[in-house]
């Protein structure tokens, strides 16, 4: 997308078309000739995997929507109708439900990679912030999709999450009533969640286009964190990146298929096979696994308002890390201290995920607080200070040098 396209169509028709709408040149410069660092590892295939998962979710979702009824008395039954009577409806639904989990798994790997290799740093700040926006939209979309099933956990998750807004002083209760479209989670709530669950994936797709655009302006980061300096440092997107992405996408699909066909309900909650019942509170209300770390942060703080602020801050803080990280060296490969703090942070995230599934009592509360403090300290204290105090390892002169060794 950067620079003038060198694309020369062969056929007369394509030449005619290209003069009027240069979409061929756009595709050629973005996905064929686009130079990509030669030293990318398999963690860089997750961008392609995420685009693929978004496509899967939209396609299965559109077909599911043809069979789904967004009404409190019929939603659960219509989902079961899909499972029982729609041809391959069980496949569509399990692809969609497990697809959400795979989508989040891929996005977490994608984000961990970005933080490890410093992909958010200058000149990729906007690229990174667009990613944070996509992640926020994904969370909203995933949550509303989970509610559509209208099982017990759907209903109570909707109640708990919308109630978070009641913590806002003064206007909180009014906002919650407005969100619900009534005085409790009910049919208006289900209807608007359905509408938004259908809308947001297309908003995500739009931001993804911006994300890829920004990527192709700044160029990809790479494991060394130094910019390509000559043609020797890069290879063409096609065939090199396409075939590598394609291979790992196939590997990822094996994992996906394992869940869909053999353990489709492993990541779900058994309570969600009980139709929603506002009169019965489940013994414990837990969100889907991908929200658990944030749920743990929320519950680690005894004050509701402060808990909600911490919950939202834990995501918003990501948008500021291009400026919180003061180090001039991007990749953790050359940052011995950052590397250790990073892995501790990964442990804190996974630990919070585990704690989010536990009852908030005893040792679990204390651990949640320790991990929550570390989660924020990593961004707000460690990142700014490390840039000043850390002694980094010497960087290679170029990407080719790091790949071929100093001799070449």
Partner 1 sequence: MTAKRTILALTLVGAVGGMTLPAKAEEQVTPPRLKWSFSGPFGKYDPAQLQRGFKIYREVCSLCHSMQMVAFRNLAEPGGPGFTEAQAAAVAADAKIKDLDDKGQPIERPGRLADYFPSPFPNDLAAAAVHGVAPPDMSTLAKARTFQRGFPWFVFDVFTQYQEQGPDYIAAYLTGFKDPPAGFALPETGHYNVYFPGHNTAMPPPLQDGQVTYDDGTPTTVAQYSKDVAAFLMWAAEPHLVQRKRIGFQVTIFLIVLAGLMYFTKKKVWHGVEEPSEIAHGQDPKKTTI
CB of 167 to partner 1, least distance (A): 24
When asked if residue 283 is in the footprint of partner 1 (CB under 8 A), the reply is: yes
Q: Which residue among 32, 199, 251, 316 contacts partner 1 (CB under 8 A)? A: 251
List the one residue from 57, 152, 222, 392 that touches partner 1 (CB under 8 A): 152
Q: How far is the CB of 144 from partner 1 (least distance, A)?
A: 20
Q: Which is nearer to partner 1, 257 or 381 (CB)?
A: 257
Measured between alpha carbons, how far is 252 from 256 in angstroms, rounded to an integer? 6
- Contacts to partner 1 from residues 210-249, by CB under 8 A: 235, 239-240, 243-244, 246-247
Residue among 80, 125, 227, 390 that touches partner 1 (CB under 8 A): 80
Options 31, 38, 58, 166; binder of partner 1; rule CB under 8 A: 38
Strand ranges inside 108-248, DSSP E: 234-236
Indicate the residue among 38 and 216 with the shorter CB distance to partner 1.
Answer: 38
Q: Please say which residue, 178 or 266, places its beta carbon nearer to partner 1.
A: 266
Q: Which is nearer to partner 1, 53 or 318 (CB)?
A: 53
- CA end-to-end span of the chain: 32
The crossing angle, in degrees rounded to 10, of helices 89-116 and 242-262 is 130
From candidates 17, 112, 273, 320, binder to partner 1 by CB under 8 A: 273
How many C-beta atoms lie closer than 10 Å to residue 11's C-beta? Answer: 9
Q: Which residue, 292 or 383, is less far from partner 1 as judged by CB?
A: 292
Window 369 to 408, contacts with partner 1 (CB under 8 A): 403-405, 407-408
Smaller CB separation from partner 1, 147 or 176: 147
CB-based contact 163:171 (threshold 8 Å) = no
264 lies in the binding site for partner 1 (CB under 8 A):
yes
**Could you say which of 4, 12, 19, 84 contacts partner 1 (CB under 8 A)?**
84
The Cα 330–Cα 23 span in angstroms is 34
CA dist 240 → 2, 104, 325 (Å): 19, 26, 32
Task: Give a three-class secondary structure readout of 287-348.
Answer: CCHHHHHHHHHHHHCCCHHHHHHHHHHHHHHHHHHHHHCCCCCCCHHHCHHHHHHHHHHHHH
Cα 24 to chain centroid, rounded: 30
- Which residues within the stretch 153-182 sit at the binding site for partner 1 (CB under 8 A)? none
Q: What would the 3-class secondary structure string for 86-148 be? A: CCCHHHHHHHHHHHHHHHHHHHHHHHHHHHHCCCCCCCCHHHHHHHHHHHHHHHHHHHHHHHH
User: CA of 261: how far to CAs of 90, 270, 289, in Å?
Assistant: 10, 17, 19
* Sole window of 18-26, 29-37, 56-64, 251-259 interacting with partner 1 (rule: CB under 8 A): 251-259
Could you tell me if 241 and 47 are in contact, meaning their C-beta atoms sit under 8 angstroms apart? Answer: no
Minimum CB distance to partner 1, residue 255 (Å): 10
CB of 256 to partner 1, least distance (A): 9
Size of the site for partner 1 (CB under 8 A): 56
The Cα–Cα gap between 129 and 21 comes to: 30
Please, is 79 exposed, middle or buried when counting C-beta atoms within 10 Å of its C-beta (0-12, 13-18, 19+)? buried
Binder of partner 1 out of 23, 77, 306, 316 (CB under 8 A): 77
Distance of closest approach, residue 100 Cβ to partner 1, in angstroms: 13
Interacting span for partner 1 (CB under 8 A) from 222-230, 285-293, 301-309, 333-341: 285-293
- Nearer to partner 1 by C-beta: 88 or 323? 88
Q: Residue 143: which of 164, 159, 158, 160 has the closest Cα?
A: 158
Among positions 41, 195, 277, 326, the unique one binding partner 1 when judged by CB under 8 A: 277
Considering only CA atoms, give the Rg of the chain.
23
List of residues contacting partner 1 (CB under 8 A): 38, 77, 80-81, 83-84, 90-91, 94, 152, 235, 239-240, 243-244, 246-247, 250-251, 253-254, 257-258, 260-267, 269-271, 273-275, 277, 279-284, 286, 289, 292, 354, 356-357, 359, 403-405, 407-408
């Amino acid at each position: 997308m950067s620079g003038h396209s060198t694309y020369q169509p062969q056929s007369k028709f394509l030449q005619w078309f290209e003069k009027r709408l240069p979409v061929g040149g756009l595709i050629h410069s973005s996905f064929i000739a686009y130079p990509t660092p030669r030293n990318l590892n398999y963690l860089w295939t997750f961008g392609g995997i995420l685009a693929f998962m978004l496509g899967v979710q939209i396609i299965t979702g559109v077909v599911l929507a043809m069979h789904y009824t967004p009404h409190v008395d019929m939603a659960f039954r219509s989902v079961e109708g899909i499972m029982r009577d729609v041809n391959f409806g069980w496949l569509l639904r399990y692809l969609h439900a497990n697809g959400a989990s795979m989508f989040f798994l891929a996005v977490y790997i994608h984000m961990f990679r970005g933080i490890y290799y410093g992909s958010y740093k200058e000149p990729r700040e906007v690229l990174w912030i667009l990613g944070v926006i996509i992640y926020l939209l994904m969370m909203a979309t995933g949550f509303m999709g989970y509610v559509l099933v209208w099982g017990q956990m759907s209903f109570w998750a909707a109640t708990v999450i919308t109630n978070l807004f009641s913590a806002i002083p003064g206007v909180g209760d009014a906002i919650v009533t407005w969100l619900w479209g009534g005085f409790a989670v009910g049919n208006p709530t289900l209807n608007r969640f359905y509408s938004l669950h259908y809308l947001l994936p297309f908003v995500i797709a739009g931001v993804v286009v911006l994300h890829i655009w920004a990527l192709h302006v700044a160029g990809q980061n790479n494991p060394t964190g130094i910019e390509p300096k000559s043609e020797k440092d890069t290879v063409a997107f096609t065939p090199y990146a396409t075939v590598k992405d394609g291979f790992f996408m196939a590997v990822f699909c094996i994992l996906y298929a394992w869940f869909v066909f053999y353990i489709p309900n492993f990541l779900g909650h058994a309570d969600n096979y009980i139709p929603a019942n506002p009169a019965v509170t489940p013994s414990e209300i837990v969100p889907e696994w991908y929200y658990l770390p944030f749920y743990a942060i929320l519950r680690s703080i005894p004050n509701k308002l402060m808990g909600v602020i911490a919950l939202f801050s834990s995501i918003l803080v990501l948008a500021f890390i291009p400026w919180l990280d003061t180090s001039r060296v991007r990749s953790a490969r050359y940052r011995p201290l950052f590397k250790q703090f990073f892995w501790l942070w990964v442990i804190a995230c996974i630990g919070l995920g585990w704690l989010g599934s536990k009852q908030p009592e005893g040792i679990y509360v204390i651990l949640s607080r320790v991990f929550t403090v570390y989660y924020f300290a990593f961004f707000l204290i460690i990142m700014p200070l490390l840039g000043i105090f850390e002694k980094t390892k010497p960087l290679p002169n170029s990407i080719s040098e790091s790949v071929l060794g100093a001799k070449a």
